[in-house]
């Protein structure tokens, strides 16, 4: 008899993003009708001929009404209900068992929510139904249709914004089971919950690990699923009704519980996204540090540094100046994505707390015990841990942004100084060449007046002499003499030009200071103010001009 369960229920609470933030690199709207398609696949697997379609669901019609909490079903098409009802009969041995259920589609703020119920009713045709074998849960989940294997990696649709799901199993304990639970140790109820879980999940899916237990609405509840491995684990709750009012409280708080689980799954989904962004950001941070370290190590190896930079080093620095701003923008986007997750987590944590407070207010109105520790543990412990971790991530990674900005400014400063120095050197060279050419021109023009003119037919012999080089009377040709003297004067003039320009720049400030001193120039200072404790109290202090 202990393997029999009375009024077994399976509730699937599944969630999908309706709208995503524009520009978020980790989000994509994908198939916004995913939940309704998923529900239709489950109903097909159950052998139910009811489906969501364009006639009974506004989402398929793309004409959703405005608001933050919207029922998406078209009431006129489902008997003026808020959900899509269905029923069928299944065979268990020689016994026919009636199965009923409903599918509730909602839009809550920026998310879609599906509440799917499959149950054996407590009464049928006015008569109390009989307990059924615990293996009934296999027939509630044929081919594991309630699950979306590996839903966080999304192998079927990489653009899917599936937020997660929670499965709630409820059974009402029979009198014999209540007596056994009272007589034996507490493991009786835990073992019963484990059997329900094993019946629901079939191979090849792995059964999630037990994570905790507590009481909710006066009845024990058991939780399965690992928060540290949310991508490979399922969140399943098994609620054993030992209190006759628990079922009524669940019915009254069904919508609040649906929203509560939405916020829980959004928090876990957000933190899971943070994990993926964290590793990408950490890699970028390490690359930034490596680039900066290599840059300044290479500078220290440069023989001319810090006085001057070679052309090769200057080209490398200019290349980095073009690449680093792009990397800075990419890194800033990663930090923005982490901040978005931080804000999303904080908002949904507060929404979760508000919903728990609303449930407490309801219980207070019913004069029920207000113990909601089972629900509050998530917001008081898990959410706080998540918030601290994201804050620590931002505090660590924001140094990378400042480091990159400092490196860019430092490299830009070195490049600007080197280029300014090269421009000044070029200017000095041009001025010196101009001075030299002018000097050479003046000398070339003046020399004919100093040299005796030769006959017009006086030949030029190599190397630019008047006779062959072996003649004893050979002498330099006047043209050669003019050319050599002009070149010599030009080189001397260029040398003097360099000295004049450099000396002029270096001594300019000294000359200006000397002139100012000769003419008695003094900078005008603002008049002094009286001290606060000045004895001349009748005279107002003079403000500086």
Last residue of a domain, one of 384, 418, 452: 418
User: Do 149 and 211 reside in the same domain of the chain?
Assistant: yes
- How far apart, in whole angstroms, are the C-alpha atoms of residue 256 and residue 347? 17
On whether residue 354 sits in a domain, the answer given is yes
- How far apart, in whole angstroms, are the C-alpha atoms of residue 448 and residue 58? 106
Question: What are the Cα distances from residue 492, in Å, to 284, 425, 433, 479, 482?
Answer: 58, 19, 10, 20, 15
pLDDT at position 218: 92
CA-CA-CA-CA torsion sign (424, 427, 431, 437):
positive
Express each pLDDT in 34-69 by its tens digit.
Answer: 899 999 999 999 999 999 998 999 887 777 778 889
User: Do 395 and 476 reside in the same domain of the chain?
Assistant: no
pLDDT at position 532: 46
Percentage of residues in the chain having pLDDT higher than 70: 67
Express each pLDDT in 328-337 by its tens digit.
Answer: 888 889 999 9
On whether residue 526 sits in a domain, the answer given is no
Closest Cα partner for 98 from 194, 214, 8? 8
- Pairing assessment for the beta strands 123-124 and 210-216 based on DSSP bridges: unpaired
User: Do 230 and 330 reside in the same domain of the chain?
Assistant: no
Q: How confident is the model at residue 317 (pLDDT cuts 50, 70, 90)?
A: confident
Collapsed DSSP state (helix, strand, coil) of residue 141: coil
- Pairing assessment for the beta strands 162-172 and 69-71 based on DSSP bridges: unpaired
On whether residue 525 sits in a domain, the answer given is no
Closest Cα partner for 102 from 147, 43, 28? 43
On whether residue 265 sits in a domain, the answer given is no
Express each pLDDT in 198-254 by its tens digit.
Answer: 999 987 788 899 999 999 999 999 999 988 766 656 899 999 999 989 999 999 999
Say yes or no to pLDDT of 192 above 50: yes
The runs of H, that is alpha helices, within 18-148 are 34-46, 58-61, 136-140
User: Do 39 and 94 reside in the same domain of the chain?
Assistant: yes
Which residue is listed with tokens 């900005």?
A: 405
User: Do 383 and 434 reside in the same domain of the chain?
Assistant: no
239 in Cβ contact with 168 (< 8 Å): yes
On whether residue 523 sits in a domain, the answer given is no
99 in Cβ contact with 88 (< 8 Å): yes
Q: How confident is the model at residue 484 (pLDDT cuts 50, 70, 90)?
A: low
User: Do 311 and 181 reside in the same domain of the chain?
Assistant: no
- How far apart, in whole angstroms, are the C-alpha atoms of residue 331 and residue 404? 9
Closest Cα partner for 47 from 17, 88, 14? 88
Express each pLDDT in 241-270 by its tens digit.
Answer: 999 899 999 999 999 999 999 999 999 999
Q: How confident is the model at residue 507 (pLDDT cuts 50, 70, 90)?
A: low
Domains in the chain, number? 3
Q: Which of 188-192, 299-303, 355-359 has the lowest mean pLDDT?
A: 299-303
Paired residues of 535 in beta bridges = none
Percentage of residues in the chain having pLDDT higher than 90: 43
**Domain housing 459:** 426-517
On whether residue 494 sits in a domain, the answer given is yes
User: Do 213 and 306 reside in the same domain of the chain?
Assistant: no
Q: How many CA atoms lie within 13 A of 260 on its CB side?
A: 20
Q: Which of 41-45, 497-501, 507-511 has the lowest mean pLDDT?
A: 507-511
Express each pLDDT in 119-147 by its tens digit.
Answer: 999 998 889 999 999 999 999 999 899 98
Residue 106 parent element (H or E)? strand 95-108
Backbone phi, psi, residue 154, to 5°: 50, 65
User: Do 184 and 242 reside in the same domain of the chain?
Assistant: yes
Question: What are the Cα distances from residue 293, in Å, to 287, 297, 298, 302, 331?
Answer: 10, 6, 9, 14, 18
pLDDT at position 367: 85
Last residue of a domain, one of 221, 252, 283: 252
Residue 334 parent element (H or E)? helix 311-365
pLDDT at position 327: 80
Last residue of a domain, one of 418, 446, 464: 418
pLDDT at position 540: 42
pLDDT at position 331: 84
Q: How confident is the model at residue 402 (pLDDT cuts 50, 70, 90)?
A: confident
The tokens for 466 are 């008047």
User: Do 66 and 157 reside in the same domain of the chain?
Assistant: yes
The more confident residue out of 78 and 464 is 78
Express each pLDDT in 70-119 by its tens digit.
Answer: 999 999 999 999 999 999 999 888 889 999 999 999 999 989 999 999 99
Question: What are the Cα distances from residue 382, in Å, to 156, 257, 268, 309, 377?
Answer: 30, 18, 10, 55, 7
User: Do 196 and 55 reside in the same domain of the chain?
Assistant: yes
3-state secondary structure 13-75: EEEEECCCCCCCCCCCCCCCCHHHHHHHHHHHHHCCCCCCCCCCEHHHHCCCCCCCEEECECH
Residue 150 DSSP label: T
pLDDT at position 149: 56
pLDDT at position 545: 35
- How far apart, in whole angstroms, are the C-alpha atoms of residue 101 and residue 86? 5
User: Do 358 and 314 reside in the same domain of the chain?
Assistant: yes
On whether residue 268 sits in a domain, the answer given is no
**pTM (whole model) above 0.85:** no
**Residues with Cβ < 8 Å from 398, sequence gap 6 or more?**
335
User: Do 431 and 400 reside in the same domain of the chain?
Assistant: no
Paired residues of 16 in beta bridges = 112, 162
Give the mean model confidence (pLDDT) for residues 467-480. Answer: 52
- How far apart, in whole angstroms, are the C-alpha atoms of residue 105 and residue 61? 14
pLDDT at position 134: 94
On whether residue 539 sits in a domain, the answer given is no
């Amino acid at each position: 008899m202990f393997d029999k369960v009375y009024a077994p229920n399976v509730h699937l609470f599944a969630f999908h993003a309706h709208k995503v933030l524009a520009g978020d690199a980790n989000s994509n709207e994908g198939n916004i009708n995913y939940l309704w398609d998923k529900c239709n696949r489950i109903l097909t697997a159950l052998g139910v001929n009811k489906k969501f379609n364009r006639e009974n669901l506004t989402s398929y019609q793309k004409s959703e009404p405005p608001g933050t909490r919207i029922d998406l079903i078209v009431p006129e098409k489902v008997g003026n209900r808020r959900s899509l009802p269905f029923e069928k009969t299944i065979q268990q041995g020689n016994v026919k068992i009636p199965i009923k259920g409903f599918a509730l589609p909602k839009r809550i703020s920026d998310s879609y929510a599906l509440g799917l119920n499959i149950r054996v009713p407590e009464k049928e045709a006015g008569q109390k139904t009989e307990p059924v074998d615990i293996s009934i849960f296999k027939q509630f989940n044929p081919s594991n249709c309630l699950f979306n294997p590996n839903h966080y990696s999304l192998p079927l649709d990489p653009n899917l914004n599936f937020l997660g799901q929670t499965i709630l199993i409820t059974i009402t304990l029979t009198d014999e089971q209540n007596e056994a639970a009272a007589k034996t140790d507490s493991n009786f109820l835990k073992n019963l919950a484990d059997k329900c879980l094993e019946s629901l999940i079939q191979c090849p899916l792995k059964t999630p690990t037990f994570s905790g237990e507590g009481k909710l609405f006066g009845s024990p509840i058991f939780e399965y699923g690992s928060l540290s491995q949310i991508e490979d684990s399922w969140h399943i709750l098994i609620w054993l009704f030992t209190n006759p009012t628990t079922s009524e409280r669940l019915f009254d708080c069904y919508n609040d519980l649906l929203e509560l689980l939405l916020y829980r799954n959004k928090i876990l989904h957000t933190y899971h996204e943070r994990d993926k962004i964290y590793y990408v950001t950490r890699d970028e941070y390490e690359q930034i540090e490596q680039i900066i370290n290599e840059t300044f190590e290479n500078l220290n190896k440069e023989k001319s540094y810090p006085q001057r930079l070679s052309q090769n080093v200057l080209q490398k620095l200019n290349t980095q100046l073009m690449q680093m701003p792009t990397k800075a923008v990419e890194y800033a986007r990663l930090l923005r994505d982490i901040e978005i997750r931080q804000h999303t987590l904080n908002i949904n944590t507060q929404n979760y707390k508000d919903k728990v407070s609303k449930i407490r207010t309801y219980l207070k109105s019913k004069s029920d015990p207000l113990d909601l520790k089972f629900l509050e543990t998530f917001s008081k412990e898990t959410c706080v841990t998540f918030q601290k971790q994201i804050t620590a991530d931002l505090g660590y990674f924001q140094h990378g942004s400042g480091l990159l900005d400092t490196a860019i400014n430092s490299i830009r400063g070195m490049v600007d100084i080197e280029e300014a120095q090269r421009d000044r050197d070029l200017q000095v060279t041009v001025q010196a060449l101009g001075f030299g050419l002018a000097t050479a021109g003046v000398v070339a023009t003046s020399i004919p007046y100093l040299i005796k003119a030769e006959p017009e037919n006086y030949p030029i012999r190599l190397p630019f002499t008047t006779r062959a080089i072996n003649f004893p009377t050979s002498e330099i040709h006047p043209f050669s003499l003019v050319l050599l003297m002009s070149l010599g004067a030009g080189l001397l003039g260029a040398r003097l030009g360099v000295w004049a320009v450099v000396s002029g720049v270096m001594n300019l400030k000294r000359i200006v200071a000397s002139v100012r001193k000769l003419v008695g120039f003094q900078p005008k200072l603002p008049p002094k103010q009286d001290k606060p404790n000045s004895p001349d109290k009748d005279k107002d202090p003079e403000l500086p001009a």
